[in-house]
Structure 1
Amino acid sequence: MCYSALVKRWTDKNSGLPIMVRDQKDIYEKAATEDSKRFPPLRDRIFPGSYGPVIHQGKGESFTSELMRYGAYPPHTIANPKKYTTFNARRDNLLSNFWSVGFMKHHGFVVLEAFYEWVAVKDLLKAGVVTLAQVKAEFEKQSEERKARILAAGKKYKPTPTETKDPRLRQIVIEFKPNDDKPLLVPTIFSFSESGEGFDSGTDSGFAIITDVPTPEIENAGHDRCPVILDWDEMQRWLNPKSMSAEDFLELLNNRKKPLFEHKLAEAA
C-alpha cells in the first residue's frame, strides 16, 4: 500500500506541462473550518481521507489539477465498503468490479516526491540501512511527544502496550524517496460519491493510487508494494481512458519506470 505520500503541487507556471490549476484553496479552507473531520487541513503530505491535487484530462488538449479526496468511492453495489482499502488500487485487480467506477473511465495522476509506509522493524534492520539504536531513538521521541500532548491537555500519561514492546517486534514508518530526487508521475483512478456534496458544493470526488509489486530495495526494507511510475509520454496515454483497450492499459502499467529508492526513518503523521 501507499499509507501516505508527499505531493508536489503544480502551481507554478514553469512546470513545463500544459496544466490548468483550479484555485480551490479558499473554498476548501472555508469547508475545513466548518467540518474539519470531513475536510482535514491541506498539507503537502497526504493521508487517507485528506485532499490532494489530482491532474486529469480537461477540456480540449489541456489538463486540469483539482483537489480530490485520497480514497476513491467504490460502486454503491459493494457491501460494507468501509472494510476495504480505497486509497490504493492494485494493478492486477483493476478489472474487478470494485474498481469499475474508475478504471477505463476516470484516469488521472499525482506528482509525488516521496511515499511512506509502515514496515516491520525486524525486516528494516535486516536491510542494514537503519540501526537498532536509531529505531529506539525514534520510538523514544514519539513517546515523549505523545506524553507532552497528554500532559498539556491536563490528562494522566500512561505508556501504551505498543510503547513497552521490544522495538524489534514493532512497526515503524519509512520514507521512500528516489535517489535522483526527480518527481514521480503516478497514475490514479478516481470516482464520485453517490451521496453527499464535496467541499465546493459539487459531488465529492476521490482517488486511488495505482500500485504494483515492489522494486528490490523496497522489498528488502520490508514493504510489498510500490506506486506505479510512468514517464510523461506514457502518462498522456493513461489520461485518455478511451484511447486503448483494458489489456493495453494494464501492459502500459506493467512496463512502469523503476527508479532506485532510498529509505530512512520518517514521522508517522
Structure 2
Amino acid sequence: MIVENGRRVVKLMRYQCRPAGKPSFNDVKLPSTYNARRDSLGGYWKDLFGYSHGTIVANAFFENVSRYAMEHRDLAPDGKEQNVVLEFRSRPQQDMLIACLWSHWTGRDEPDLLSFAAITDDPPPEVAAAGHDRCIIPIKSEHVDAWLNPDRSNLAALYAILDDRDRPYYEHRLAA
C-alpha cells in the first residue's frame, strides 16, 4: 500500500527493490535488495527513505537460516553448511503492517518496474534464538498515515516510527 494523489492505493510490485536510477544488473549484483536494512537507510536507501514509503500486510514471514545456528551448535570440522527455511508467525496471530520502501524504475528499452524492499532491523530474542540476525519491522496502525506520507525534512520522526513498532512474539517452524 502506498499513497498516490493523496489516497491510499494498493499496487502490485516486485519484492526486490530496484531503486530508480540504478542499473537493472543490480538485481543480480545486489540480490539482497529485497530487504532494506535500517542501518543503511541513510546510505544505499537514502533516495527512497523519506520519499517513497509503503506497507505490506503479512501474518507470517520466512527466513533462510543455517541449520547449525538454528540448532545452536558449531559446524563440525568435516561438516557441510546446510540452509533451512523457517516460517515465523506472530502469537497471537495478527496481520502486521510491514514498513517498506518502494521505487518506480524506468530504463531505456526495458519495461517500467514497481518494486519494494521490506525494512529490517535487529531481531527480537526469539528470532535471534532461531538463528536469524534480522527481522521485519511491523509499524503501529496509528503511524500509517505519517509513514505513507513521509516528511523528508524530519527524518527523526520517521526513525521514531520504526522505533515505536509493534513487537509481537514470533513462533517459528520449519517451512519446508
Per the normalisation by structure 1, the TM-score is 0.57
After superposition, the CA RMSD in angstroms is 2.3
Partner residue, 1:105 = 51
Which protein has the bigger helix share? 1
Partner residue, 1:210 = 119
Give the AA of the match of 1:63.
R
Distance 1:102 1:243, change over 3 A: closer
Per the normalisation by structure 2, the TM-score is 0.85
Q: 1:254 aligned to 160, 163, 169, which one?
A: 163
Distance 1:119 1:170, change over 3 A: same
Deviation string, structure 1 residues 150-177 (Cα, Å, up to 9, x no partner)? xxxxxxxxxxxxxxx968x412111011
- Runs of 5+ consecutive residues of structure 1 not aligned to the other structure: 1-54, 128-164, 198-202
What is the CA distance between 1:262 and its match in structure 2?
A: 0.3
Q: 1:186 aligned to 98, 113, 117, which one?
A: 98
Partner residue, 2:71 = 125
1:219 aligns with 2:128: yes
What is the CA distance between 1:77 and its match in structure 2?
A: 5.5
Which one is further off, 232-241 or 69-78? 69-78
Give the AA of the match of 1:252.
I
Deviation string, structure 1 residues 74-125 (Cα, Å, up to 9, x no partner)? 35357962322211001111111x2133211111100011111111112222
Any conservation in 2 of the 1:187–1:235 contact (CA below 8 Å)? no
1:59 aligns with 2:5: yes
Deviation string, structure 1 residues 20-62 (Cα, Å, up to 9, x no partner)? xxxxxxxxxxxxxxxxxxxxxxxxxxxxxxxxxxx011333x3
Q: Which has the higher contact order (CA 8 A, sep 6+)?
A: 2
CA distance in 2, matches of 1:175, 1:253: 23
- Runs of 5+ consecutive residues of structure 2 not aligned to the other structure: none
Q: Secondary structure at 2:12's aligned position in 1?
A: strand
Which protein has the bigger strand share? 2
Give the AA of the match of 1:229.
P
Percent sequence identity is 32
Give the AA of the match of 2:106.
E
CA distance in 2, matches of 1:263, 1:181: 12
Show the 5 A alignment for 1:39-78.
55-60=1-6, 62-76=7-21
Any conservation in 1 of the 2:19–2:102 contact (CA below 8 Å)? no
Any conservation in 1 of the 2:20–2:104 contact (CA below 8 Å)? no
- Rg (Cα) greater in structure: 1
Q: 2:148 aligned to 236, 239, 245, which one?
A: 239
